A = this chain, B = another copy of it.
């Protein structure tokens, strides 16, 4: 009974759509709705909650450079609001000018990714934060105690940790810093015109963007770049048809996940990038070797799918990818005001 009612409702809805917008557009929308999903409101899980108190604390910590060795690197150093949650660099620069190995992806919608980092060697955003806090490149701090000691010098934080983690006897821990920043990041969801489209508003995408979407699906891009993240949901070898480093003119060959798993089957395997906000997050690929989006699209079609796209197809694809640009969440665009410190950071 229930399924019949659903079937009728679905048929009526499909009819309503197709009569209003044309059969091709309706078919494309239905196809897109099967491949992609709208972004959720936030990306909390049972293990990693999004609470107002954790988000408030996590937002402060995200922007606070005073936890790292010289006090001049924060999460926001590599994930700047003005650059849509990236640093605009091919590969990032950490404390004491130490080089990061790979390109910093945007922090927007980052929690949609099934693993964190290009090689998937972080299990969650919280795992990433926890490891970053004592990483020689991201932080430079020798151990967790040094990180905590820095926060103790900023009296305003004590009450915020207590409120965010009310059950903990001593809530000021690296695990809780990670949970708070993770909570904040899980709230950094940036829905775009594409979400309105997936919700049924065909005209949220221009005709060019709809053509680009059709090309995107037909060419095979959506085989990997799918789901709510339009990517970020699986591992794939970069360079299926030809070696990626030739197409990208990469300065070095990165073996990808094979260096993590020591499994030859993982050679040149990376996490598929989410294409959300891709138009605002140049340069592209794990090594930032490609500067522009049209070039990145051309290369991906070639090395992954053996497809040679026409210029007009690339134009349409760019129109589609532009529709994945969301508004910066207000909590990210606007800096929080950090509590003052009472002990100065010594020169290292």
Contact = CB atoms under 8 A, between A and B. Distances in A.
Interface of A: 60, 63-66, 70-72, 76-77, 80-84, 87-91, 93, 96-97, 99, 251, 279-280, 282-283, 288-292, 328, 333-338, 340-345, 347
Given A63-B82, A87-B72, A282 B96 contact: no
B82 A345 contact: no
Contacts of A70: 89, 93, 97
Contact of A280 (B280, B283, B290, B340): B340
Q: Which of A66, A88, A338, A347 has the most CB of B within 10 A?
A: A88
Contacts of A292: 342
Nearest to A347: B90
Number of this chain's copies in the assembly equals: 2
Given A251-B347, A282-B341, A328-B335, 14 more contacts: A60-B82, A65-B87, A70-B89, A72-B93, A91-B347, A280-B337, A280-B340, A282-B340, A283-B341, A289-B344, A291-B341, A291-B343, A333-B334, A334-B334
Contacts of A66: 88
A46 to B, nearest CB: 31
Contact of A341 (B88, B336, B337): B88
A99 B97 CA distance: 12
Contacts of A291: 341-344
B344 A288 contact: yes
B88 A345 contact: yes
Contacts of A336: 82
A337 B332 CA distance: 12
Contacts of A76: 82
Q: Return the 8 tightest CB-CB contacts between A and B, nearest first.
A: A81-B335, A63-B82, A82-B335, A291-B344, A283-B344, A72-B93, A334-B334, A97-B97
A288 B343 CA distance: 11
Contact of A89 (B72, B84, B280): B72
